[in-house]
Amino acid sequence: MATRNSGMTAVEDVQDDVEKGHVKPTDPAPVVNDLDPNADETSSTTSVPETVDGAEAQLKYLGWHDWWKCVKLVLKPWGLSMFLICIPFAWVSHWKVESWGHEAQFALCFLSIMSLQNIFESCGDQLAWRTGKDLGEFICITFKNCVEATLALILLKGCHLRLLQSTIIGVVVLHLLLVQGTAFFIGGSKTVKQKLHDHQVAINPSLLMVGVLGVVLPTAFFAALDRGDNTTVGESPSTPLVGDAVRGWILKTSHAVSIMLLVVHIWPLPQKVSNRLPQFLKRFLPADTSATTGDPARKKVCRCGCVCLPVVNDPPVSKEDVYLIPIALCAFFIVVSIVVMSVTAEFLVESIDPVRERYHIQSEFFGLILLPLVSFLPEAALAFCSFMPTLQMTTPPEPEARGTPIDSSIQFTLWWMPIVILIGWWIGKPIHLLFDYFEVALLLGTCFLVNYVTADGETNFAEGFTMFTFYAMIATAAWFYPGQSQVGYMLSCPGSVAAAVASGVQNALVFH
């Protein structure tokens, strides 16, 4: 057999021998173990095939000795990871706020969290390759929402409930309109139309509407009690509309609705896990050289590095090398990033009120627009980088539209929002699903627009631009909107609603 070239992988080496006639296609498959140091000193990865969108991707598992290559994979793209240098400066600005100013603290924390969001998405992609498409998409979406979920928990812990509520609505609206609209606009810039995945047309509209209606229900409950009299409820003059008794009713309703929303989200997950679990476990079991895929004559590259020859008459299949880092190292990156982001996000929250007051920015604008942008900017930068090559018309258009942002919004309304409500119940924070009427109205309008756009299963750049424009309308209105005082009183924390009404101090979007 011919000598292996130092730059060739095990699969390329065997295929090269087939082409030169040294090995016949019907011969027993030669075994090459990439983990054996005696096999090839230059090989440091283990190859496993995976079919993705009709193309065979070559999964290559990196070892601990390739730690620098693993770090580079997690930090890609470098244009976003370069902002990690802002983290120590952001922490210093917290302790030197008197000399540095709150503006510098806010900007540095903002850029730092943006770079950490990129690490979460990279680690989510790494885990998704190991679990398959369905479960992998769930993992990717979960990690995409890590920044927003961490901000929500910090706001809940600090009793800043009005800002928390507006941030929840802002995150959902941003993913549905700005992120998804940008994806449709960029994806449709080179083609007349794109197709949506079947599940994004069949089940997503229903799931999205259920999550939105979970917000509408307690708000409609409160609105029905307000019959033009802002002091009492029904025929009892001792029960004020904005009072602790009504808040208790809304809290109980919100807790029940949150549990039901969680059930709706969790119900299909066991099926996804059970369908993929056998394949997931096979990656960690010894290789079976008799493994086939449909055709008995077709061989595969197994987990331990056993390379088998393909059938000669097989059509050519495009291959893509995907490098996977060790799971333990991926978990290390995730834990460290969560700890660093938690501290940085708390510093960010502390700087909001001084910046808002100095520049006379409406409080609602911070929750609806500014804070949700922390997670969008990394994705926007990646989208812009991918959009620039399309201007030269050198790459073929993608036939399928990207609908992950809609899935992200669904998960936030069906998973993270109920989790925040239930955690607040557990720690004694009166967070509930009674939202500002303006926020509920724009959330409903967003849901209707997205469902109309995706109803036919096709999208184009014009629909993406429409979604983007509606988000700009919302941002313009939020810049001037002062907020609803009744909801602020109902979110008084700490203390009772009666005390807040008597003192005239509501739980506004500012910090004391």
* Averaged pLDDT score across all residues of the chain: 75
Residue 30 has a pLDDT of 43
466 alpha carbon, distance to own chain's centre: 23
Q: How far is it, in rounded angstroms, from Cα 207 to Cα 451? A: 11
Task: List the domains of the chain with CATH numbers.
Answer: 1-43 (no CATH), 44-503 (1.20.1420.30)
Note the pLDDT of residue 499: 81
Structure tokens at 106: 């806010």
Pick 20 or 6 by higher pLDDT: 20
**CA-derived radius of gyration, the chain:** 27
Residues 441-468 have a mean pLDDT of 90
Q: What is the 3-state secondary structure (H, E, C) of 372-439?
A: CHHHHHHHHHHHHHHHHHHCCCCCCCCCECCCHHHHHHHHHHHHHHHHHHHHHHHHCCCCCCCCCHHH
Is pLDDT above 70 for 1? no
**What is the distance between the alpha carbons of residues 506 and 495, in angstroms, rounded to a whole number?**
11
Q: What percentage of the chain has pLDDT greater than the value 70?
A: 67
Q: What's the pLDDT score for residue 253?
A: 95
- Most confident of the following: 262-276, 360-374, 431-445: 431-445
pLDDT of residue 307: 32
pTM: 0.75
* pLDDT over threshold 70, residue 199: no
101 Cβ partners below 8 Å, 6+ apart? none
**Hey, which bits of 119-239 come out as E strands?**
194-195
* End-to-end Cα spacing for the chain: 77
Of 119-133, 298-312, 335-349, 371-385, the poorest mean pLDDT is in 298-312
Length of the chain in residues, anyone? 512
pLDDT at residue 275, rounded to an integer: 53
Q: What pLDDT, on the 0 to 100 scale, is given for residue 185?
A: 83
**pLDDT band at residue 384 using 50, 70 and 90 as cut-offs:** low
| 444 band by pLDDT with thresholds 50, 70 and 90 | very high
Give the SS3 label for residue 497: helix
- 101/358 Cα distance (integer angstroms): 11
Query: Which of 383, 442, 381, 375 shows the shortest CA–CA distance to 120?
Result: 375
**Residue 24 φ then ψ, to 5°:** -90, 150
> Bigger pLDDT: 210 or 356?
210
Residue 190 predicted with pLDDT over 90: no
pLDDT score recorded for residue 446: 95
Compute CA 60 distance to the chain's CA centroid, rounded to the nearest angstrom: 25
Provide the CB-side half-sphere exposure for 58 (13 A, CA).
16
User: In this predicted model, which residue has the larger pLDDT, 220 or 402?
Assistant: 220
Name 237's Cβ contacts closer than 8 Å, sequence gap at least 6.
none
The burial class, CB within 10 Å (0-12 / 13-18 / 19+), for 175 is buried
- 3-state class of 181 per DSSP? helix
Average pLDDT over residues 104-120: 87
**pLDDT at residue 233, as a whole number:** 60
Query: What pLDDT was estimated at residue 505?
Result: 60
The whole-angstrom separation of Cα 223 and Cα 217 is 10
Please list the alpha-helical segments (H only) found in 283-362: 327-350, 352-359
Question: Taking residues 130-155, what's their average pLDDT?
Answer: 79
pLDDT of residue 234: 54
298 against 354, higher pLDDT: 354
DSSP conformation class of 322: E
Per-residue pLDDT band for 143 (boundaries 50, 70, 90) equals: confident
Is there a contact between 186 and 388 (Cβ–Cβ < 8 Å)? no
pLDDT over 80 at 219, yes or no: yes
Asked if pLDDT for residue 114 goes beyond 50, the answer is yes
Q: Which of 39-43, 201-205, 507-511 has the lowest mean pLDDT?
A: 39-43
What tokens does 205 get? 């509209």
Asked if residue 313 has pLDDT above 50, the reply is no
Tell me which of 138-142, 198-202, 236-240 is least confident: 236-240
Q: Which of 63-72, 220-229, 429-438 bottoms out in mean pLDDT, i.e. has the lowest?
A: 220-229
Let me know the angle formed at the C-alpha of 414 by 409 and 419, rounded to the nearest 5 degrees.
Answer: 115
Amino acid at site 396: P
State residue 165's pLDDT score. 93
Band the pLDDT of 40: cuts 50, 70, 90: very low
How far is CA 264 from each of CA 143, 300, 354, 420, rounded to the nearest angstrom?
20, 38, 40, 16
Provide the pLDDT confidence category of residue 500 given band limits of 50, 70 and 90: confident
Q: What are 224's two structure tokens?
A: 């029905």
**pLDDT confidence of residue 272:** 56
